[in-house]
Amino acid sequence: MCGIAGGTRFSSYKALDSKTLFKMLDSIRYRGPDECGIYETNEVLLGSVRLSIIDIKSGQQPLSNQSGDIWIAYNGEVFNYIELRQELIKKGYSFKTNSDTEVIVLLYEEYGVEFLKKLNGQFAISIWDKRKKELFLARDRMGIRPLFYTLHNKELFYASEIKAFLQHPDIELKLSAKSLSQIFTFWTTISPDTAFEDVYQLPPGSYMIYSQNKFEIKSYWELEFASENQYKDISFKEAVEEFAYILKDSVKKRLRADVPVAAYLSGGLDSTVTTSLIREVAPKMLQTFSIGFEDNDYDESYYQNLASEYFDTKHTGFKIKNEEIAELFPKVIWHSEMPLLRTSPVPMYALSRKVHEKNIKVVITGEGADELLGGYNIFKEAKIRHFWAREPKSNLRPLLLKKLYPYIPQIQNASAQTLRFFFGYKLAETNSPVYSHLLRWNNGNHIKKYFSNDIIHDLNGYKPVDDLVDKINGEFSNYDYLGKAQWLEMNIFMSGYLLSSQGDRMGMANSIEGRYPFLDHRLIEFCSKINPEYKLHGLNEKYLMKKMAEHKIPNEILKRSKQAYRAPIQISFLTKKASGYINKIFDEKKLEDNGLFNPDLSKKLWEKFKIGEKTSEMDNMALTAIVSTTILKDLFQNKKEQTSISDISTCRIINDM
């Protein structure tokens, strides 16, 4: 795993020089603390900071093909590189390293852009093709690894993280009002937008070609679900067997490394299943890590310890304190590069830090299973709301929603009328392509009421949901209710938030690479074509995987109710570790100068928290949004974060001018 950065200088050497590129790389050095390398020509610079995992001795980047006319710097892992290497050897290619990096550059030489379809992995790739004088950028299918770019004076600059652009003297970052509206609706932006104006992400499953005469972005893979009644012709038993086969092979491939590999163990079904498969494939590698909370409402330590004892793993578990969540929150914003509506990424940062302290570089984790197999309550809500909408006046049908939230007393004690109020938003609009998410996305309006008049003016009535609907693929309308909901969850929330703010950014902040067996594209394509009842059976989520896991994991975990991963907000922000910087954020002059939020409404919200008045989930999200956005602006737009710059002599520079 690495961090990459680079750019073109077709018009002028001043567009980007090696010293500036080194500063860009050094600002994300934690992504690759082991080595630094730069390739420089008259037209382009490619740079890499490397976290050595495969072929530690000879896998340095940037790296070229044998003739030296194709150069690569890339971030990620290609898990089927061994098989692809053999394919290339049969075609007459020879290798100077044992790295997956060299496999990629030779695949590009042999197949051109079509090589991307052969890769099973998680990656962000930059290639300079001297023959064509073209810069080629590509990103993995689900966007596990980030890749950002910006254009300035017809030159293109790219990097693994946006903060690298702060080191370029001509680039200024400014928060986008449109993007803030998207984030407060979807928890993330609609690709290719980012939180900042004129800074974009290369969309997942896409590649870019940039030269003096060409700028094109094309998709090489898209998430597609089977149309209704056109599901894969396979019995449930056969589906269980095929799912198990692909998942086990996915785990096996993701254990390939020249360094120790560990696993996260959350105490839920997904991580327990991956741990059970690691035990089957490589029992000596069973080292697990987990994090709990001092607040019992959020803590899953009991189940984590249960799984660890069952599999006899070498386990490291610890609990994060509320004051630590508050203390780490600004650092997490620096790494997430996006406003947050929850504190949930903070424990993930603390967990990866603990892994780093144990000298581990790679962890297997269970993200993606909920999205693939209907594991979230939002999928069940959609199913119930569709059923309820057929008889909207029914007093019995809304009561089904109580089954989804046994841990929330307000819902368990609610009447049908109260449930109608909470869950009946746009109930009849079942023909909406985004019906499953309308209720969740409407919550954003409760946060946006805190926007300043300037932001409201800049938005000029902009509606993120309408914008998204306009961009949805035409085939989307043929998906069943679950396929539509899964498409939205995977393309927006998972790719833009879960794999970024809670995934790549929190792991790489501590030089930890996360690997995701459930996000093997073979498994995604399989699950997207099977009958939805195999995934969400009635209201029984992840039905397929539960059947696969019978007698392989602790029964208590197999049959436990789904517990959403959350972290405390109110109690954390009221600790002494937070009160100092949060009081400054809600200072009236600070709010006015910041220009993002309404000072009066924002101060009233903070006072409500301070005096101990009862707060809602929406209040918690609004407070987190105001705090995180203000910190983000200070760090990136006002440039209050100072980064230490190492000596450029520590970086290997290949001059090809």
Determine contact, residues 39/128, Cβ cutoff 8 Å.
yes
In terms of Cα–Cα distance, which of 19, 59, 11 is closest to 38? 19
In terms of Cα–Cα distance, which of 120, 16, 20, 125 is closest to 78? 120
Task: Give the separation between CA 566 and CA 322, rounded to whole angstroms.
Answer: 13
Determine contact, residues 4/128, Cβ cutoff 8 Å.
no
Strand order in the sheet with 314-320: 314-320, 287-293, 261-264, 362-364, 513-515
- The distance between the two most distant Cα atoms of the chain, rounded to a whole number of Å, is 75
Task: Give the separation between CA 249 and CA 15, rounded to whole angstroms.
Answer: 46
Task: Give the separation between CA 352 and CA 362, rounded to whole angstroms.
Answer: 10
- DSSP state letter for 175: B
DSSP 574-629: TSHHHHHHHHHHT-HHHHHHH-SB-HHHHHHHHHHHHTT----HHHHHHHHHHHHH
- Please enumerate, as own/partner, the contacts of 646-649 that have beta carbons within 8 Å and a separation of 24 or more: 646/26, 646/29, 648/18, 648/19, 648/22
Task: Give the separation between CA 631 and CA 141, rounded to whole angstroms.
Answer: 31
Residue 274's alpha-carbon distances to 79, 171, 237, 366, in angstroms, are 17, 43, 20, 7
| Residue from 2, 36, 527, 651 carrying the catalytic annotation | 2
DSSP 500-535: IIIIIHHHHTTT-EEE-GGG-HHHHHHHTTS-HHHH
Beta bridge partners of 137: 126, 208
- DSSP state letter for 168: S
315: CB partners within 8 A, 6+ apart: 265, 287, 288, 289, 290, 304, 305, 308
Residue 405: is it exposed, middle or buried by C-beta count within 10 angstroms (0-12/13-18/19+)?
middle
Helix ranges restricted to H, 119-268: 177-186, 236-254
Task: Give the separation between CA 335 and CA 39, rounded to whole angstroms.
Answer: 26
Let me know if 2 is a catalytic residue: yes
Structure tokens at 226: 């089977």
543: CB partners within 8 A, 6+ apart: 373, 533, 534, 535, 536, 537
Indicate which residues carry an active-site annotation.
2
